[in-house]
Structure 1
Amino acid sequence: MSYRGALLHLCWRLFTISSRVLSLALFASLFHIYFGIFVVLHWCAMAFWVVHGGTDFCMSKWEEVLFNMVVGIVYIFCWFNVKEGRTRYRMIAYYIVVLAENTILTGLWYVYRDPVLTDSYAVPALCSVYLTFAGGVLVMVLYYGFLHPATAHLQPSPASSCCAQLLWGLPLPPSAPPTAPPTPAHMTKSQTEEDVAETCLPVFQVRSAPPVSKPEGPLIKIDMPRKRYPAWDAHYVDRRLRRTINILQYITPAAVGIRYRDGPLLYELLQYESSL
């Protein structure tokens, strides 16, 4: 993440959390008991949503449930990603729910407030709730559109030099070695040599090694998809596999293959990698 991306990310969180905290504070100033009920209901709904999404961070199921409960507490104020994959629809759903809740909370406060005590700051408070929320969403869109690391990697490099491609995270293809830029006709020889020296061509170049045929080793077949079973089961399966592979390494020098079932396709892992 670049410095500009980190700054936009900070502004996005600051604006959205400020809007959320302000709406909760206005509602809690009048409805003390109902505020606690609302927080508990929102926490339960968010925790159930995270559990339904199927996270896989902990070693046991109980630790995973506890982790999801903590995430539900965080979701009272802000959203963050806890699952791999596209987050656009989950983020849109969360912010729609938060906007509806902020509208209901501030609306109830505005209806049942004491006009004598709150007329001086009622309208600025309502404007602050919606302006900070809109500003946070706008900064979030700018961040994901231009400065998010995944988006920056998908963008074309601003320059054709190898240094710019490395800075943007786009390595050169092995089949296309870097070449010097074409020489214009009106440039002199000395100017051309200076420009070529400043193009930052790579100093070290490694030749691609010829393909070496590896001997076929033993193959372990697992009749289940990889990373689609709970973490405790993954730890149990990996522990069994580790024992088996340690024995096979003394029997044959070839690499041990592991094949997982992935629907109609077969995913083969030529070298064992623990999921821990």
Structure 2
Amino acid sequence: MPQDEDPSTPQSPPDTSPQTPSKQPDKEDQKNSLVNKIQELGQTNVAEMENSNIHCITVVGQIEGHMQLPPQNKTTKYEHIIPQLVAVEQNPKIEGLMLILNTVGGDVEAGLAISEMVASMSKPTTALVLGGGHSIGVPIAVAAKHSFIAETATMTIHPIRLNGLVIGVPQTFEYLEKMQERVINFVTHHSDIEEETFKDLMFAKGNLTRDIGTNVIGEDAMKYGLIDTVGGIGSALQKLNELIEERKDDKNGGILQ
């Protein structure tokens, strides 16, 4: 026989406290994620560019090679750039690449690696030199399908050199000469400048105060055939869109019966 509850036993009141909803990502988390992306890759997507068919990569400061530079140096790391180039090539939603350069140069092999990646891409590419595209930044600029330079931007063309411990044997200088030829061949094959003209600019005396070489400014870079067009961001984007449309027409074209 069931027993009745003892009325003297206190009953716990019903839980009337409001239920805490599941935590949604707040603005602070989004801000931290944005800051981390900028610190790691040096760039972030603008809100209106989420569905853009063009990807932009910036090459700024010093191009970092196999050795990490001091933290106060502004650098472009090739291990960040190369995966982005691979992603651009394989992502069907991205139809074109735009490079923005303002670099003093840096590691030769890292710069040539980036240049070869850009030059071997099947998708349309443009490059825009703003401020400066010096030293190994020159091959990166000419690697694109069409290159632009701002009127006030400069490009310093000079021989490569070695730093750190150098073994004073003939093989060292032969290796340096082969490295030099790699740069010269790449630039002359991907631009309209003649090899002799490029060498004359590279080994010129009296143009640079503490070095040999030449500092080429906007219009002169186009006259030498190093850069295709003098222009800015608007011209570079317009040309990139034209190249994208031409590629679409080539894909859609064919013989109809």
Question: TM-score range with shorter-chain normalisation?
Answer: under 0.3
* Greater RCO, CA 8 A, separation 6+: 1
TM-score by length of 2: 0.22
TM-score by length of 1: 0.20
More helix by share: 1
